[in-house]
């Protein structure tokens, strides 16, 4: 799987939007962009995924650059419960394996 | 009801012992996984089973032996425990699509915290 690069940590104020960036300059045409997060002392949980178009779900939005070499996970209104490590993962077509990087530790400031 | 459950939640044992961690999922999924998260929080896949058949084995030492008695269970047995085995072990499951695509969402258990003394 191609590699992703994320900032080690970010901070955001509660109730404000959060933009978590991910660079994946070596992405291939059939790689899907997945985001998972890991809350403290819990297992990872799925957030969102996409291929080319921007995606929205009840948890977040995913904005994918036109050249697909970067993406941004958007939390529209961060709460304290969103404090977690966020992982951006590239997943090849049909590949069931998740390859986690170091992720971004998001701290929410009350 | 918990979708993916693991027992025990904590496991403290001596070096050289043999121990097992159990995982059960009630989601009706056909694929299950074991991941290891080390002290630096790096999360790495160890094994994957699909319909009780091993499909991923990520160069894990032979001391680790997964066993899948049925689709809903994937247990991890570890022989001759070493200090370096101390980690958090996560079980996960997903429903595999035969047509490939994005890859199905994986659902993770709460983790088993193993400490080898």
pLDDT in tens, chain A (110 residues): 568 999 999 999 999 999 999 999 999 988 999 999 999 999 999 999 999 999 999 999 999 999 999 999 999 999 999 999 999 999 887 777 888 999 999 999 99
pLDDT band for B38, please (50, 70, 90 cuts): very high
Q: What is the pLDDT of residue B101?
A: 59
Q: What is the pLDDT of residue B100?
A: 54
Q: Do A94 and B103 touch (CB under 8 A)?
A: yes
Q: With an 8 Å Cβ cutoff, is B31 touching chain A? A: yes
**Is the Cα dihedral B34, B73, B95, A35 positive or negative?**
negative
Whether cis (ω within 30° of 0) applies to the bond prior to B8 is yes
CB B91 within 8 A of CB B108: yes
As a whole number of angstroms, the longest Cα–Cα distance in chain B is 46
Nearest CB among B90, B92, B100 relative to A93 is that of: B100
Q: What is the pLDDT of residue B41?
A: 87
CA distance A26 to chain B (A): 18
Q: Do B94 and A46 touch (CB under 8 A)?
A: no
Q: With an 8 Å Cβ cutoff, is B92 touching chain A? A: yes
Half-sphere exposure of A105 (CA within 13 A, CB side): 6
Half-sphere exposure of A40 (CA within 13 A, CB side): 6
């Amino acid at each position: 799987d191609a590699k992703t690069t994320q900032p080690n940590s970010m901070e955001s104020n509660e109730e404000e939007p959060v933009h978590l960036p991910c660079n994946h300059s070596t992405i291939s045409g059939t790689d899907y962009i997945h985001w998972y997060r890991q809350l403290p002392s819990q297992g990872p949980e799925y957030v969102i995924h996409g291929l080319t178009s921007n995606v929205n779900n009840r948890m977040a939005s995913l904005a994918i650059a036109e050249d697909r070499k970067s993406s941004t996970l958007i939390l529209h209104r961060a709460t304290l419960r969103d404090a977690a490590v966020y992982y951006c993962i590239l997943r090849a077509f049909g590949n069931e394996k998740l390859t986690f990087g170091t992720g971004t530790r998001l701290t929410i400031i009350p | 009801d918990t979708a993916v459950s693991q027992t025990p939640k904590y496991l403290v044992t001596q070096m050289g012992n043999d121990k097992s961690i159990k995982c059960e999922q009630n989601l009706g999924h056909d694929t299950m996984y074991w991941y290891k998260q080390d002290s630096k929080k790096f999360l790495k896949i160890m094994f994957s089973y699909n319909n009780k058949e091993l499909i991923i084995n990520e160069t894990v030492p032979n001391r680790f032996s997964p066993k899948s008695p049925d689709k809903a269970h994937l247990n991890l047995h570890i022989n001759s425990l070493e200090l370096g085995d101390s980690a958090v072990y996560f079980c996960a499951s997903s429903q595999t699509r035969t047509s490939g695509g994005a890859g199905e969402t994986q659902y993770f258990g709460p983790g088993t915290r193993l400490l080898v003394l």
